[in-house]
Amino acid sequence: MTGSSGGGLDDGPPKAGGADEGSSITRFAGVGLQFALSILVFVYAGQWLDRKLGTPPWLLLAGVFVGGAGSFYSMYRKLMAAQAQDEAARKAKREGLR
Protein backbone atom coordinates (compact mmCIF):
# COMPACT_ATOMS: atom_id res chain seq x y z
CA MET A 1 0.00 0.00 0.00
CA THR A 2 1.51 3.30 -1.06
CA GLY A 3 0.34 6.54 0.47
CA SER A 4 -0.93 9.38 -1.61
CA SER A 5 -1.60 13.01 -0.76
CA GLY A 6 -5.21 12.05 0.01
CA GLY A 7 -4.16 9.45 2.57
CA GLY A 8 -5.66 6.50 0.65
CA LEU A 9 -4.31 4.03 -1.86
CA ASP A 10 -2.42 5.40 -4.83
CA ASP A 11 -4.69 4.62 -7.79
CA GLY A 12 -2.63 6.42 -10.41
CA PRO A 13 -3.29 9.86 -11.84
CA PRO A 14 -6.09 11.88 -10.30
CA LYS A 15 -9.45 11.87 -12.04
CA ALA A 16 -11.33 15.03 -12.99
CA GLY A 17 -13.69 16.05 -10.19
CA GLY A 18 -12.09 13.55 -7.82
CA ALA A 19 -10.18 13.92 -4.58
CA ASP A 20 -7.45 15.98 -6.25
CA GLU A 21 -9.95 18.76 -6.91
CA GLY A 22 -10.24 19.33 -3.16
CA SER A 23 -6.48 19.65 -2.78
CA SER A 24 -6.33 22.25 -5.57
CA ILE A 25 -9.05 24.23 -3.84
CA THR A 26 -7.09 24.28 -0.60
CA ARG A 27 -3.89 25.12 -2.48
CA PHE A 28 -5.49 28.17 -4.07
CA ALA A 29 -7.40 29.19 -0.94
CA GLY A 30 -4.01 29.97 0.56
CA VAL A 31 -3.36 32.42 -2.29
CA GLY A 32 -6.05 34.77 -0.96
CA LEU A 33 -4.70 34.57 2.55
CA GLN A 34 -1.17 35.20 1.30
CA PHE A 35 -2.44 38.20 -0.68
CA ALA A 36 -4.08 39.79 2.36
CA LEU A 37 -1.21 39.05 4.73
CA SER A 38 1.38 40.39 2.33
CA ILE A 39 -0.44 43.70 2.01
CA LEU A 40 -0.92 43.91 5.79
CA VAL A 41 2.76 43.27 6.47
CA PHE A 42 3.87 45.96 4.02
CA VAL A 43 1.26 48.41 5.36
CA TYR A 44 2.53 47.84 8.89
CA ALA A 45 6.14 48.27 7.75
CA GLY A 46 5.20 51.47 5.91
CA GLN A 47 3.44 52.86 8.99
CA TRP A 48 6.39 52.00 11.19
CA LEU A 49 8.86 53.64 8.82
CA ASP A 50 6.60 56.70 8.50
CA ARG A 51 6.60 57.12 12.30
CA LYS A 52 10.38 56.67 12.46
CA LEU A 53 11.18 59.00 9.56
CA GLY A 54 8.30 61.48 9.91
CA THR A 55 7.05 60.97 6.35
CA PRO A 56 3.35 60.06 6.73
CA PRO A 57 1.56 58.81 4.59
CA TRP A 58 4.06 58.21 1.79
CA LEU A 59 5.73 55.03 2.99
CA LEU A 60 2.35 53.63 4.04
CA LEU A 61 1.09 54.14 0.49
CA ALA A 62 4.29 52.67 -0.92
CA GLY A 63 3.78 49.65 1.35
CA VAL A 64 0.26 49.13 0.02
CA PHE A 65 1.46 49.21 -3.58
CA VAL A 66 4.57 47.09 -2.99
CA GLY A 67 2.57 44.51 -1.03
CA GLY A 68 -0.15 44.41 -3.67
CA ALA A 69 2.30 44.15 -6.55
CA GLY A 70 4.27 41.40 -4.83
CA SER A 71 1.08 39.51 -4.07
CA PHE A 72 -0.16 39.77 -7.65
CA TYR A 73 3.20 38.57 -8.96
CA SER A 74 3.20 35.60 -6.58
CA MET A 75 -0.40 34.76 -7.52
CA TYR A 76 0.46 34.99 -11.22
CA ARG A 77 3.41 32.62 -10.82
CA LYS A 78 1.34 30.07 -8.90
CA LEU A 79 -1.51 30.17 -11.40
CA MET A 80 0.82 29.85 -14.39
CA ALA A 81 2.60 26.90 -12.76
CA ALA A 82 -0.75 25.23 -12.07
CA GLN A 83 -1.85 25.85 -15.63
CA ALA A 84 1.37 24.35 -17.00
CA GLN A 85 0.98 21.33 -14.72
CA ASP A 86 -2.63 20.89 -15.84
CA GLU A 87 -1.62 21.16 -19.49
CA ALA A 88 1.14 18.58 -18.98
CA ALA A 89 -1.38 16.22 -17.37
CA ARG A 90 -3.77 16.68 -20.29
CA LYS A 91 -0.98 16.04 -22.80
CA ALA A 92 0.12 12.91 -20.94
CA LYS A 93 -3.47 11.70 -20.89
CA ARG A 94 -3.84 12.30 -24.64
CA GLU A 95 -0.53 10.51 -25.32
CA GLY A 96 -1.66 7.62 -23.15
CA LEU A 97 -4.87 7.20 -25.13
CA ARG A 98 -3.06 6.82 -28.46
Q: pLDDT class for 43, splitting at 50, 70, 90?
A: very high
Could you give the CA distance from residue 4 to residue 10 in angstroms, rounded to a whole number?
A: 5
Q: Where are the domains of the chain?
A: 30-79
Q: Phi-psi region for residue 54, left (φ > 0), alpha (ψ -120 to 50) or beta?
A: left
| pTM for the full predicted model | 0.66
Residues 85-94 pLDDT 10s: 989 999 998 8
